[in-house]
Structure 1
């Protein structure tokens, strides 16, 4: 018989589709294992000839100790022979809960996301709520804090923390003080290259100012696909097939990039000279972040474009797509955005389409005045 412990559950790897493991310490409590990894706790028992089966919660939401306590309470509600005492939740300091949240929940984030959230919490969330009891944080507190914020992303992190507190039963269900509040929409602080600058960069790449052919092709591909630098730098040979890029771990998860014939031409050339499992590799090895940054710095200095960042190539791709009439949803799919609102942030960069629309409206009004 398996003796359930918190450590055993955290390390458990499922071996079958569905497995039901009884907890010897809590009668009727079972650990339900699924191949998908969405394990849960259920309470299954008979009382006075009636069978009760309740799902207590997922393993990601409840610790074993919390599941046992919840099981005892649920049994007591249904069995008059058992003493029932509605427990009063213990008050918890927000900073203690925040530390535990980042340590436990951060394991599911990518390293760069974990670092971002930890910094966001330390600099923008904790200073205001430090010393407050988790259960005493109200919507009014959150609104006061939000009005003081000039940094993007704090509200979504705080809301995730309070949702977790709800799931763990630390605050009442539906009491998330962030509910109904929205993060202020931020305008994208990017830059789109003008047609003249774009021509200048491409001609500079033709002249070899990037320093080597592999890095040159990589920068060309950043322009032609709108991908992030890290997505292409870490591209494996096997990720390029059937005329598409299959990115296994982009910022928003897996992503498929459809490629034009011109883009495939440059990729095929690079594939022929690649020296290892990385598509963008040569005699110096794969292209590292530092190597790409140094090459782009050299390009900016040679072309006198000190204001243009490497990530602005992605902004340029998005802007040109919008200016040439591509639908917002299609552009979002090309860029790998999860939400249309993310793509909409690029709209203010696409100014030529606005000028064209303004011209058309003005001409229509003028024709109406002359008739």
Structure 2
């Protein structure tokens, strides 16, 4: 731990090591700069309280504060400590008094909006505003305990899916509260709170249902206005197995008819390639490019994509008695047809863009259907041979 007069030049030239490096100032005892292995440089002040406790509160980051500005703060803190004060303890006490509402705002600004997709940020905001803030908003973040979380989770037992998503969000937020110094380490109150079991909704279209849907889509294509666009969106969902938003936000720059592929720059699982069969390709080639709108399915407002597919689907499915079928079930149906056709699970996972093998495993029972059929045929042939005289 070298001692040197701390200056901008000295700190700028200091190199990071394999562990934290501490530079102590020779002009002001207790004033220092820590350099992490990642190269992060932080000014701090070291002193002992009247009761003998060691303190090393952070003053600020190098670059945000100049060396001289940090030294002036250190002088004030050391002077306060010299007369029995505890500036570092006061800062910590102020942090722990922050309310959940204030912390939630900080979480959204410093974490969610910088590290999550826009759709995930919107989901966090809905869960916070509709469920979490009404329960915890006015409480100090440091005062929320496990029983508070248990009671909150139990109040939402009628909505197990929403309850589990809120629990996961809270757990992440409390982990960050520890990281940012608003709660002690290892104090996450969500720990040991068990999630509710959820029933996965999986609905596959039958051959007859596909037939009825196909007839309805043909009628939709003949309608004026947005009818043909709605039909094309649904057909593309059926023939690609894509997620709804992957198709709604699809841009012409993402489409390569020559390669027969969609090159999606972003999706739920990151960038991915969607291979187009001839039917999906026909749908795309039947669409017209809209001037001044990059989206394959343009909305009514300039520069925006079509946004009314959910309401359109609800009206359409009601006409053909498919009221329990969601748009996402078209993706499940694509996978179920693949599985029952004998296509192996890794291939199905690749077609759907699954990142985890376990996600595709839900179709394992369907992939066994061709094997059962083959096994049945073999058994019948053997039995027939055994009965011959």
Distance across 2 between alignment mates of 1:361 and 1:146? 48
1:55 is the counterpart of 2:36: yes
1:232 is the counterpart of 2:247: yes
Q: Identify which of 148, 156, 171 aligns with 1:159.
A: 171
Distance across 2 between alignment mates of 1:96 and 1:57? 30
Q: 2:269, 2:353 within 8 Å by CA — same for their partners in 1?
A: yes
Q: Label 1:173 to 1:258 Cα distance change in 2 as closer, same or farther (>3 A).
A: farther
Q: 1:139, 1:177 within 8 Å by CA — same for their partners in 2?
A: yes
Query: Counterparts in 2 of 1:49-128, with a 5 A limit?
Result: 53-55=34-36, 67-68=58-59, 87=89, 89-90=92-93, 91-92=96-97, 93-108=99-114, 109-128=116-135
Which has the higher Rg, Structure 1 or Structure 2? 2
Distance across 2 between alignment mates of 1:87 and 1:284? 55
Distance across 1 between alignment mates of 2:198 and 2:267? 22
Distance across 2 between alignment mates of 1:330 and 1:310? 22
Residue-pair matches, total: 314
1:136 is the counterpart of 2:143: yes
Deviations 1:276-307 (A, max 9, x none): 433345999886122x4465355334434333
Does the residue aligned with 1:153 lie in a helix, a strand or coil?
helix
Q: Label 1:156 to 1:297 Cα distance change in 2 as closer, same or farther (>3 A).
A: closer
Partner of 1:45: 23
Report how far residue 245 of structure 1 moved. 0.9
Q: Label 1:197 to 1:361 Cα distance change in 2 as closer, same or farther (>3 A).
A: same
Distance across 1 between alignment mates of 2:38 and 2:176? 12
Report how far residue 359 of structure 1 moved. 9.4
Distance across 2 between alignment mates of 1:361 and 1:131? 64
Give TM-score, length-normalised by structure 1: 0.65
Deviations 1:11-54 (A, max 9, x none): xxxxxxxxxxx997xx9877x9xxxxxxxxx9762567xx9753
Give TM-score, length-normalised by structure 2: 0.62
Q: Identify which of 278, 282, 285 aligns with 2:295.
A: 278
Does the residue aligned with 1:68 lie in a helix, a strand or coil?
strand
Distance across 1 between alignment mates of 2:181 and 2:38? 10
Aligned CA RMSD, in angstroms, stands at 4.7
Distance across 1 between alignment mates of 2:269 and 2:178? 26
Does the residue aligned with 2:246 lie in a helix, a strand or coil?
helix
Deviations 1:61-120 (A, max 9, x none): xxxxx8525998xx99xxxxx979663622223333223323443422434322321221
Deviations 1:139-196 (A, max 9, x none): 4543444344332311121111112112212223343333465544532335321121
Report how far residue 317 of structure 1 moved. 1.9
Instruction: Give unpaired runs (5+ residues) of structure 2.
Output: 1-5, 15-19, 27-31, 41-56, 63-69, 76-80, 378-389
1:288 is the counterpart of 2:306: yes
Q: Identify which of 190, 203, 207 aligns with 1:178.
A: 190
Instruction: Give unpaired runs (5+ residues) of structure 1.
Output: 1-21, 33-41, 60-65, 77-81, 364-371
1:191 is the counterpart of 2:203: yes
Distance across 2 between alignment mates of 1:95 and 1:214? 43
Does the residue aligned with 2:35 lie in a helix, a strand or coil?
strand
Q: 2:237, 2:244 within 8 Å by CA — same for their partners in 1?
A: yes
Instruction: Tell which deviates more after alignment, 239-248 or 97-106.
Output: 97-106
1:307 is the counterpart of 2:324: yes
